[in-house]
Structure 1
């Protein structure tokens, strides 16, 4: 099957490599001509000079996978594709879009008899070697047609048709919310270990826990690898970004009246990591000094 890929960042580029290695023809486009040249040279994919050029190089029932940042880049790419594709063609959004945006975009595509699939994609930089976990929302017809693509990108049992459009990105959103909580639990645990009265070997503990412990996981394996490269995590600033899914998960929990204290606290912990100095902490320190005479540290 021939597929168009828009967006050749690290994940998009690795997806092109995995597809071409498994016999798929890929037409690839990125805003960076150098990225297009590199991927064409390294994979045998056909490079495209523009989105119209990419569409023209596809044939039959055309399938275009968008792997671009969520928000305006996805919106603009979709608008361009809708002006170029024909009834029956398929657009797949494999980025981290909000599921409500995906549902709205599907309606825009449906108005032109174009199919829209939302594919929540997990696997990061390891996807090329290990495959991508794909959470796919869309019509039965469109998903079935694209199944050879999904089964190529995913490891065994790593692809699921989750339901109607929007469900794929919804499941991925919750997946990432859970990830926030897991990461925060490991972070807090290892900080407690580090600050304890015992001279503990944290790299050794990660290795130990990955053998038979109930908290063993791929994330802990990655932490073991990180400690192997940098035992003291030197020169790494404790500043943690969030890409949106944690916020959306908390908002949906509110909408559904579902208590989600762990995911919510882990999101707020990321906000706290970005503060050089917390004004809120200053307020607490001042109040403790006022009501209890507790000492205040001065700058």
Structure 2
């Protein structure tokens, strides 16, 4: 049997889907799973693709089945399992053999592993893969990080299996070290925010406009034909139209309103604080998920403080909601790209921002029509905040009043819109030349003699209040 071009460890949902994708694109792959029964079942169920898949009984068998220089993808849970697998594989590999961590790793772990690999003189790649099981099987968005030469070795396979946007593969090298995993983390943070804003608008339709799920589905389906066209709007229409086979009720109406999370959105919020790169829409989305799990406290709160959200009939229109969501989406993505730029400069990665937008156009969860325009705007001027790019300036001028009406009206009627409200607050800060931080600086100088800059440029940097405890 011919040697495999690449190997893969971990045949869970994502690993199995990725392996089948690689085989389907004409590449030979060797696979191994800790449980050999899983490996055997996977191979037996691969159908005609099984001829391109070599099942391995152990790691030595896996390594022997791959042509040198080898490349092995790890699809194991993030954290210690990755370190354990690297430790088990390295003694079996040659100095040119490449390990690729394609899980949802924290980029700090990837930076550490990349530094270890450099010290050992071996290649290592941290690679973000987005799109869920469907993307892994038929075309994900792929964000590579590590030595460029190592990425170039595997690029033909990665580009073959990646999603395509008008024929262009959604697979790109994002920079050295943990750059690929960091880009994936920010992607996931934006994903949290995009989902939260959609959920907030869904709540306004359900609780404010008294719309049933099928009607809400129709709204999402209509919006998916316009500026909001995206995977998340599309699936929101599908889930709103779905019916529970157990009760015959709308599926949405039988789902407990407590959201889960795997931590990547939280990582985005944490790293944004370290970078002093504000992402308030993402932070609000993470907060909302955390609050959603506090069911007993929320129920007690409604009992103590009265009824929940009040009707909005006559106060807001569906056009208002669509405009608010368009504006909120632009503000969220602008924050995300600014964070990527800050991280790239801090870590000396040289992340190509236009390529991030291009990679996200297909295959990943946040894919949308708007990303094509964002890629163009970032290509024109990567240093410019997206809200100042003409295409998005025009959209914000057109829709920010709708966002303002929606946030203000919802607040008066008791509807919680954390992500949309955070986006509006950030936007108003960003469009105010003379803010209120002068009061903060005066306070800081008063109690800590921290000093300040003057508008007139004079070299007097302390106030007349003297030193006060």
Deviation at 1:120, TM superposition (A): 0.6
Q: 1:148 to 1:208 in 2, by over 3 A?
A: same
The corresponding residue for 1:110 is: 118
Asked if 1 retains the 8 angstrom alpha-carbon contact of 2:17 and 2:137, the reply is: no
CA distance in 1, matches of 2:304, 2:89: 55
Asked if 2 retains the 8 angstrom alpha-carbon contact of 1:118 and 1:169, the reply is: yes
Asked if 2 retains the 8 angstrom alpha-carbon contact of 1:85 and 1:114, the reply is: no
Secondary structure of the 2:225 match is coil
Secondary structure of the 1:65 match is strand
Say which structure is richer in helix: 2
Write out the 4+ residue segments of structure 1 that deviate beyond 3 Å after TM superposition.
Answer: 197-200, 279-282
Q: Counterparts of 1:204-283 in structure 2 under 5 Å?
A: 204-212=218-226, 214-230=227-243, 231-278=250-297
Deviation at 1:197, TM superposition (A): 4.2
Instruction: Give the aligned length.
Output: 285
> Alignment RMSD, CA only?
2.2
Q: Counterparts of 1:161-172 in structure 2 under 5 Å?
A: 161-172=173-184
CA distance in 2, matches of 1:110, 1:263: 34
Deviation at 1:228, TM superposition (A): 3.2
Asked if 2 retains the 8 angstrom alpha-carbon contact of 1:19 and 1:149, the reply is: yes
* Greater mean alpha carbon deviation, residues 226-235 or residues 99-108: 226-235
Secondary structure of the 1:135 match is strand
Deviation at 1:180, TM superposition (A): 0.7
Asked if 2 retains the 8 angstrom alpha-carbon contact of 1:6 and 1:30, the reply is: yes
CA distance in 1, matches of 2:289, 2:300: 16
TM norm structure 1: 0.89
Asked if 2 retains the 8 angstrom alpha-carbon contact of 1:133 and 1:158, the reply is: yes
Secondary structure of the 1:19 match is helix
Deviation at 1:74, TM superposition (A): 1.2
Secondary structure of the 2:143 match is strand
The corresponding residue for 2:12 is: 9
Asked if 1 retains the 8 angstrom alpha-carbon contact of 2:258 and 2:295, the reply is: no
* Structure 2 segments unaligned to the other structure (5+ residues): 244-249, 306-469
* Structure 1 segments unaligned to the other structure (5+ residues): 287-299
1:142 and 2:150 correspond: yes
Asked if 2 retains the 8 angstrom alpha-carbon contact of 1:137 and 1:166, the reply is: yes
Asked if 2 retains the 8 angstrom alpha-carbon contact of 1:82 and 1:109, the reply is: no
Say which structure is richer in strand: 1
CA distance in 2, matches of 1:217, 1:262: 19
The corresponding residue for 1:30 is: 33
Secondary structure of the 2:115 match is helix
1:48 and 2:62 correspond: no
Asked if 1 retains the 8 angstrom alpha-carbon contact of 2:242 and 2:251, the reply is: no
CA distance in 1, matches of 2:234, 2:138: 14
Report the structure number with the largest CA radius of gyration: 2
CA distance in 2, matches of 1:39, 1:113: 34
Deviation at 1:196, TM superposition (A): 2.2
CA distance in 1, matches of 2:209, 2:128: 44
Q: 1:197 to 1:102 in 2, by over 3 A?
A: closer
Deviation at 1:173, TM superposition (A): 0.6
Q: 1:280 to 1:235 in 2, by over 3 A?
A: closer
Deviations 1:66-111 (A, max 9, x none): 0111111112111111222110110001101011110111122223
